[in-house]
A and B are shown apart, each in its own frame.
Chain A
Amino acid sequence: MRWWIFLPVLAVVMAIDVAFMPALAIGRTSPALWPVLLGFVAMYASRESALLAGLATGALLDAASPGLSVSADGVQQAVPVFGPWMLGCTAGAWAVLELRGLLYRRNTATIAFAALVCAVVAGVAFLAVAGLRSAYADPAPLWGASGAGGALGRLLLGAGYAALLGLVPARGLHATLGAWDFATAGPRFGPGRA
């Protein structure tokens, strides 16, 4: 995979997710494009590249939504907590890697399905890590308001919405398949090195 393509695309996707996607929110459920990109990469890239892409995506997600801690004088401090989403996105990419042998590739709906799987697995893994952390490391769970059930419900709704919306960018991503130089995209699409 060409990292010099993936990293700028990831940056743009994250900027769209934090700044523009709330415009498409239904209630408080905002769609996100990062599962579409990560699902797409995990469908075609080599195992190593897909897992590293998951770690990179997770690092940006962790940086985007800090946790809150309370200092001794009662002031709330925003502290980015690296790790939970890094593990979550790696788990999401891994789930797609395991599934991709069963899926019909080069189909827009397949990318949307991969995005759904990626977002669901990543969300569940994030909640699991955040739940474990809340037992000893965080003053309040990283998912913020509502209980874990509510947070899970919202993450699942968001995953479904992201997959549905992902049908549009997935088409565009497929059109650029040759440029990514994926390992498993086949000779028609490029040399397939990494």
Chain B
Amino acid sequence: MRVPPAHRLIAGAVLGAALLAALPQSAQAPWSRAVAAVLWIPLWPITAPLSALRDAVRPPQVPYAALPEQLQEALEARDRVQGERDAALLRLREVETELAELTGFRPGRQDGWRPRLASVIARGVGRPAGLFRIDLGASQGVVAGDPVVVGGNRLVGRVAAGGEDARSLVVPLDDARIGRLDAIVAPAPDGAAAARPTVLVQLRAVRDGLLIGELESRDDIRAGDPVLLEDATWPAAARGMRVGTVERVGTLDSNPLRRRIDVRMDVDPARLGRVVVKVSGPGGTP
């Protein structure tokens, strides 16, 4: 029996797809980025007006959206300063620890960064997770690992490697692939009561906008306490930025000496139209 050429073509193409699907990422990485870029080159010009239309149809989530513009800007500036202050306090604590341990001279941190406004031009399609693409890339100084924030100090995620000259991919905090995050719970001041100490906690993403962590039962943490990033594997510009707010403190059946906290992100990464990248790379054109 002779197999028609068209059937052979289909069988070969499906077999090729199956082989590709079986290849590990390391085997695809050398060429798949170039192929994906070529496939999407004709589509990028269409996505820009469609993104603008999306934002017009459904305005993106902006902190303090209901307030007048001037007040909104003032509050964002306040949050930015608050974020810088939190970061400075964390660095101060680190320096104090180093001095106390007399580990020797360390050069000062070079954590200069420049804010760059970016638009969200595309979201992942076909997969539930929410990597999204922004219109800033290596040519604007964006490098892998740069933190992405909104509203001054609310951390959204970080830039992944493998972007293009004028576009980058952002991994949001609530994508499990971002890995575990070291953070501190900085208790909100509650009037006359004595200040509560900060608590270190390791967080991992579980689902949309929700991260969970464990802490010891004696730690005094309450719902509403802000959670700040304090992770040495992130760039200095990300440290002290707000990861979210403690939503719930619950028991941990598997270990009565520890408790579980649920941390809700302050912003929904799926509803963002504009973000700020804290660009740390050298050079870059505006």
A→B interface (CB under 8 Å): 11-12, 14-25, 27-28, 30, 32, 34, 47-48, 51-52, 55, 58-71, 74-87, 90, 126, 129, 133, 136-140, 142-146, 150-151, 154-155, 158
The residue from B7, B26, B35, B208 contacting A69, defined by CB atoms under 8 A apart:
B26
The answer on a CB contact under 8 Å between B20 and A79 is no
What are some 24 contacts across the A-B interface (CB < 8 A)? Answer: A16-B50, A19-B48, A23-B55, A24-B58, A28-B128, A28-B130, A30-B125, A34-B126, A59-B39, A60-B40, A64-B36, A64-B124, A65-B124, A65-B127, A76-B158, A76-B178, A77-B29, A81-B32, A83-B20, A86-B21, A138-B24, A139-B25, A143-B129, A144-B128
The answer on a CB contact under 8 Å between B174 and A83 is no
Total number of A-B contacts with CB less than 8 angstroms?
A: 226
The answer on a CB contact under 8 Å between A69 and B125 is no
Q: Does B92 contact A (CB under 8 A)?
A: no
Bound state CA distance, A146 and B33, in angstroms?
26
Bound state CA distance, A22 and B123, in angstroms?
8
The answer on a CB contact under 8 Å between B23 and A137 is yes
In the complex, what's the smallest C-beta–C-beta distance from B159 to chain A, in angstroms? 9
Contacts of A78 in B (CB 8 A): 33, 131, 160-163, 169
In the complex, the chain A residue whose C-beta lies closest to that of B170 is A78
In the complex, the chain B residue whose C-beta lies closest to that of A144 is B129
Q: Does B1 contact A (CB under 8 A)?
A: no
Contacts of A82 in B (CB 8 A): 17, 20-21, 28, 32, 35
The residue from A60, A75, A145 contacting B174, defined by CB atoms under 8 A apart:
A145
The residue from A47, A90, A137, A151 contacting B17, defined by CB atoms under 8 A apart:
A90
Q: Does B53 contact A (CB under 8 A)?
A: yes
In the complex, the chain B residue whose C-beta lies closest to that of A78 is B162
Q: Which of B9, B23, B40, B171 has the most CB of A within 10 A?
A: B40
The answer on a CB contact under 8 Å between A17 and B125 is yes
Contacts of B25 in A (CB 8 A): 67, 69, 79, 81, 137-139
Q: Does B77 contact A (CB under 8 A)?
A: no
The residue from A47, A85, A136 contacting B126, defined by CB atoms under 8 A apart:
A85
Q: Does B74 contact A (CB under 8 A)?
A: no
The residue from A20, A71, A158 contacting B50, defined by CB atoms under 8 A apart:
A20
In the complex, the chain A residue whose C-beta lies closest to that of B33 is A80
The residue from A47, A64, A70 contacting B125, defined by CB atoms under 8 A apart:
A64
The answer on a CB contact under 8 Å between B127 and A142 is yes
Contacts of B162 in A (CB 8 A): 66, 77-79
